[in-house]
């Protein structure tokens, strides 16, 4: 790869608080380009504001099942970025699983027979990596009969910024 690309940048933010370091890393690499340092500072400021707003709100923790795949159903372990992002907003992903640094354990599978599913009151269906759509709402509702099921567009901000 280095034969084609003079510098390879590796990133691995594990929580929203890690994004400031990611912005700094990108600014160091690309700060010589016009507008990069100004945009990086604006992003740092926006991030600090949002993280402070969330912390100030101090929302009571609410459990949520965040589904990322079907056939088999898959969710996220609590040590993934998305789970930590949701936790900032007061959502705690179910099940209470830790997946480690890498590997399949980061994305637990469900068979639909887990007893704790009946206690889930909120289900979020991600738009990526699996493209959940309105046709999947009923399936997810059968998985968690007492839950409100909603679609989440994980691509909305990226498309709006482009």
Model confidence over 93-125: pLDDT tens digits?
998 888 877 777 899 999 999 999 998 999 999
Report how far Cα 17 is from the mean position of its chain's Cα atoms: 13
Q: Is the pLDDT of residue 160 over 50?
A: no
Q: What digits encode the pLDDT tens for the residues 24-36?
A: 999 999 999 999 9
pTM: 0.80
- How many angstroms separate the CA atoms of 101 and 27, rounded? 26
Give the list of residues 6+ apart from residue 2 with CB closer than 8 angstroms, or none: 8
pLDDT of residue 159: 46
Q: Tokens 């309105």 belong to which residue?
A: 134
Q: Compute the CA torsion angle 11, 17, 23, 28 (nearest 10 deg).
A: -80
């Amino acid at each position: 790869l280095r034969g084609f690309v003079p510098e390879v940048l590796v990133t691995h933010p594990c929580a929203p608080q890690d994004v400031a370091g990611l912005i700094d890393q990108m600014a160091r690499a690309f700060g010589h380009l016009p507008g990069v340092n100004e945009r990086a500072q604006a992003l740092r400021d926006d991030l600090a504001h949002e993280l402070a707003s969330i912390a100030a709100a101090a929302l009571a923790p609410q459990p949520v099942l965040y589904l990322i795949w079907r056939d088999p159903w898959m969710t996220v372990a609590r040590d993934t970025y998305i789970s930590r992002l949701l936790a900032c907003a007061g959502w705690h992903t179910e099940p209470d699983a830790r997946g480690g640094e890498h590997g399949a354990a980061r994305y637990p599978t469900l068979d639909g027979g887990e007893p704790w599913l009946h206690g889930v009151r909120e289900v979020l269906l991600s738009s990526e990596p699996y493209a959940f759509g309105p046709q999947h709402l009923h399936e997810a509702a059968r998985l968690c009969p007492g839950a409100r099921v909603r679609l989440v567009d994980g691509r909305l901000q990226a498309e709006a910024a482009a």
